[in-house]
Amino acid sequence: MGVSILALGDSITAPLNGGPGFRGPAAAALSGLSWVGSVTDSSGLRHEGHAGFTVRQLAGVANGGISDTGVVGKFRPIVLLVLGGTNDIAQGRTPRQIVDDLHGLVRNAKDQVKTLQVHVGTLPPLPGADDKVDAVNALLRKEVPTWQNGTFDVSPEVVDYAAELDPVYEAEGREAVLDGFVHPNRRGNELMARALIRHLGGKVPPGLGDGKGGGTVPPTTKPPIPRPPPSSSSKSGSNGVLVALGVGVGIMAAYRYFGKK
Angle between helices 95-112 and 130-143 (to 10 degrees): 40
Mean pLDDT of 21-35: 94
The answer to whether 194 and 208 are in contact (CB under 8 A) is yes
User: What's the pLDDT band for 92 if we cut at 50, 70, 90?
Assistant: very high
The pLDDT, as a whole number, for residue 243 is: 30
- E strand map for 85-172: 117-121, 157-159
Q: Which CATH architecture has domain 3-252?
A: 3-Layer(aba) Sandwich (3.40)
Q: Which amino acid is at 238?
A: S
Kindly report, residue by residue over 190-249, the tens digit of the pLDDT: 999 999 999 999 999 999 998 776 544 433 333 333 444 444 333 434 333 333 333 333
The pLDDT, as a whole number, for residue 154 is: 76
Report how far residue 22's alpha carbon sits from residue 121's, in angstroms, rounded to the nearest whole number.
12
Q: For residue 232, what is the DSSP state? A: S
Domain boundaries, the chain: 3-252
The pLDDT, as a whole number, for residue 214 is: 52
Q: Which 3 state secondary structure label does DSSP give 67?
A: coil
Higher pLDDT, 79 or 225: 79
User: What's the pLDDT band for 69 if we cut at 50, 70, 90?
Assistant: confident
The answer to whether 218 and 205 are in contact (CB under 8 A) is yes
Report how far residue 99's alpha carbon sits from residue 94's, in angstroms, rounded to the nearest whole number.
9
Closest CA to 186 of 167, 208, 170: 208
- Give residues with Cβ within 8 angstroms of 171, minimum separation 6: none
Report how far residue 220's alpha carbon sits from residue 32's, in angstroms, rounded to the nearest whole number.
7
**Is the model's pLDDT at 95 over the cut of 70?**
yes
The pLDDT, as a whole number, for residue 53 is: 97
The pLDDT, as a whole number, for residue 31 is: 85
Closest CA to 72 of 99, 101, 105, 103: 105
